[in-house]
Structures are given as structure tokens and as C-alpha cells.
Structure 1
Amino acid sequence: MAPERSSESAVHTARRAQLVDAAIDVLARDGYAAASTVRIARAAGVSRGVLTYHFRDRADLIAEVVRTVYALAGAELGPQVVEAGSPRASLLAFVGGSVEFYAAYPRHLAALSAVFSAQARDGTSHHRTEMDDVGALLRAGVEAGEFRDLDVETMAGTIRAALDAALVRVTADRTPATAARVRDELVRTFDAATRKETG
């Protein structure tokens, strides 16, 4: 009996992932207002009843899209940031890696942008966690003497705003050269902006 339950669980997980992927497609292509459960189910090749079996409603599915994109970003960026070795290196890995993530997953970021055009990003736990993590890196860098005595909340918000601008640029011009220029520019900018004054 255990193998059968395991198989059912795998099918359930695969179906949910299929529906999330279809929702990402519809959100990225058609926008938030047009991303109805009927349209998403059609994009997934299933009935609306199958969708509502796996997700309570549209809001439940949209929440899973947001969680999925943030989880993907964490899986892509987390190891780079953790393994960088110092607060400065970790911060710059986060900034540069974020731009690389935008370039690698434009469809996911377009879907997330569509959601946040209709829902406040600042109220999500994912966004708060990201900002808390950036703030923790900045504080650690100040305490270690790697960063100047800066206002953590202001700098964290500035980094987020610059990354938002980078997302617009990278997704508008989807070329590796543009992504590399944007990445390098932001890394240089925040390396200079946080560097401890000498002399």
C-alpha cells in the first residue's frame, strides 16, 4: 500500500507543478486580470474542476506561483550568497546573481511582475524575508568593518529599487550582453556605495 500512496503523491505533486507552470505562462503572456482559472486550466490542458481539486481557488494558485518563483530564486542564488565567504562578497553575489536570475527566467519574472502589479509586494512574507536577509548582510558588513557606517534600511531599499530597474532593462532587451552590462554596473555601484571610507 505504501508504494501506491507514494505514486499518488507523485502524481498530485506533478499535477500541481503543471498547473503552476500554466499559470506562469498565462500571467506572463496575458497579465493578472486575464489569468482566470478557466484560462489557466485550458493552458494546462485540463478541466477547471481538475484545477480546483488541486487549488482552492485562483488566489491559492497565484500564491503558489509567487512561492514557486521565490523558491526558485532561493535555490539559484542561495548557494552563491552563502558560499561567497564574507558579507561584502555575499552582498555582491546577491546583486549580481539577481540580475543573472532575471535574465535566465524572464517568463517567471514576468508572471511575478504581473502579480505584483495587482497585489502589494511589500505585504508578502517572501519580500519581507528577502529584505531582512539583505539588511542582515549589510549589518554584518558594517560590524565586520567591510562596509561604511550606513543606514541599513535605506541601503536595502536602494538595492531593491536598483534591482527592480535592472529587471525592467534585462527583460526589455533579452540579450546576454545587456544582462552582463547591467550586472557589472550594479555590482560596481553597490561595491562603491557600501565601501568603508579610508584615510
Structure 2
Amino acid sequence: MPKSPAPRVHGDVNGESTVRRGRPTGDHAAKRAELLKAATTVIARDGYANASLRKVAQQAGCTTGAVTYYFANKEDLVAALAESRFDRYDAMLEAARAEPGVKKLFERWLELTTGDPEFWPVMSQLFAHARYEPGFAALIERRYARFREVYTSILARGQEQGTVRADIPADLLADQLSAMGDGWMMMFPFEPERFTPARVKALLDAAITLITPAPTTRRAT
């Protein structure tokens, strides 16, 4: 009687020996999304350094081997998580492109960042981790460049329509506004009481005021 093929044993990942078995049943994309959601929860709760494939598996209610079928190691999982986060940014920007006015962009950003309590903490953890991983840093740089490119095009359109100040180049405005948002994101996990929905909205309204053209005044004749 022929023997069943032995499972493939992979090296340690954060002290964990992982075993990759046969193809799991079910929808591949749905399972990946489920594991990314579990990883999000673990990182938001325990921090990046304390997150592990074992914890992700426990959060998702599966084995570590099931996780490694979809993601080779923690770095692979985190890279996929970062890609999925930037996909949400891209979807937000594309939706804003189809709507008039820059204010819609800020409103969608507000919905994205305040509608998911894990979004800011996880993104700040990923950004901090990228400093120590060249490959991961390259991923962040590539996706962020795309984000700023689309952001710049939306602001440039606002300048053409007269709704965004034109005395500062659109790419500089995009950099400045992105830096403001990143700063809020980095501080949110430490001072959540300063970022209530009402105050975040006030901050965004202030940002809109900063990029709105100054009202023109007519000289008396």
C-alpha cells in the first residue's frame, strides 16, 4: 500500500516550527482575508514585536500550519497586510476622484480612519517596523509613492477648479497633508483621548481651511 506523502516541515518562525500540509478546503481569497483580519487584531492588541504566527492562528481558530499554507512566514504575512491596507487607501482615493471637491476626500479619509478602531494602531506599527526591514521599507515606499501621486492629482484638479490654493504646488500640498495625517496616526495609539470623532473632524476641517484659497477682496472704486 503506497504511503501518504509526509508533510513538509519549515524552519522556525519566531521560535515556531511550522508544518505545511495539503491544500486547505474553502475559498482561498476569503481565507487569506480572514487571516489578515486576525493578524490585524493581534498586532493592534499585542504590538508588532509580540505578534506571531501562532497567535494569528489562535485568533483565526486554525493551526499554525494552516497559516503557513497562505503565508510563508511572519514577514510574508505582514507584507500582505500592508498591501491590503494601502489597497484601502487606493480605493478611498479612487472614490474621491469621482466626486467634486477636495472635502469629499477628507470625509472619506475620516470614515476610513475612525470607522475601524484597529486601522491607526496597526498602520503606525507597520510604519515603525519598516525602518528595520529594507524589503518591507521598499514596499511602503512604492505604495506610498502611488498614494501621493493620486493625492497630488486630486489636489491639482482642485487648484484648476479654484477650490484649492494655487500658490503652493499640488505635490507639496500632498506631502504636507500626508505628513499631518501620518503624525495624527502615530500619536493616536498613545493619546486616543485627543482623537475623538468630533476632534478628528475639527482637525480635518482645519486642514481644509489651510488649503482653501483666501477670499478675494474688492477695492472700493
* In 2, Cα distance between equivalents of 1:17 and 1:34: 21
**Paired residues of 1:145 and 1:196 also in contact (CA < 8 A):** no
Larger Rg, first or second structure (1 or 2) = 2
Deviation of residue 143 (structure 1)? 4.8
Deviation of residue 169 (structure 1)? 6.3
**Residue correspondence of structure 1 range 142-181 to structure 2 within 5 A:** 142-143=159-160, 147-168=165-186, 172-173=192-193, 175-181=196-202
Structure 1: which 4+ aligned runs deviate by more than 6 Å?
none
TM-score, normalised on structure 1? 0.78
Provide the secondary structure at the position in 1 that maps to 2:27: helix
Question: Relative contact order (alpha carbons < 8 A, sep ≥ 6): 1 or 2 greater?
Answer: 1
Residues 1:84 and 2:95 are matched in the alignment: no
- The one-character-per-residue Cα deviations of 1:15-66 (angstroms, maximum 9, x if unpaired) are 2111101100011111111111122112212111100001122121111111
**Residue correspondence of structure 1 range 1-199 to structure 2 within 5 A:** 11-79=27-95, 81-85=96-100, 89=101, 91-120=102-131, 123=138, 124=140, 125-143=142-160, 147-168=165-186, 172-173=192-193, 175-191=196-212, 195=213, 198=216
Q: Pairwise CA RMSD of aligned residues?
A: 2.7
Q: Which runs of 5+ in 2 are unaligned?
A: 1-23
TM-score, normalised on structure 2? 0.71
| Change in 2 beyond 3 A, CA 1:60/1:169 | closer
Query: Match for 1:13: what amino acid?
Result: A
Q: Percent identity?
A: 24
**Paired residues of 2:113 and 2:120 also in contact (CA < 8 A):** yes
Deviation of residue 197 (structure 1)? 7.6
**Paired residues of 2:48 and 2:126 also in contact (CA < 8 A):** yes
Q: Looking at secondary structure, tell me which structure has more helix per residue.
A: 1
Deviation of residue 177 (structure 1)? 1.9
Deviation of residue 118 (structure 1)? 0.9
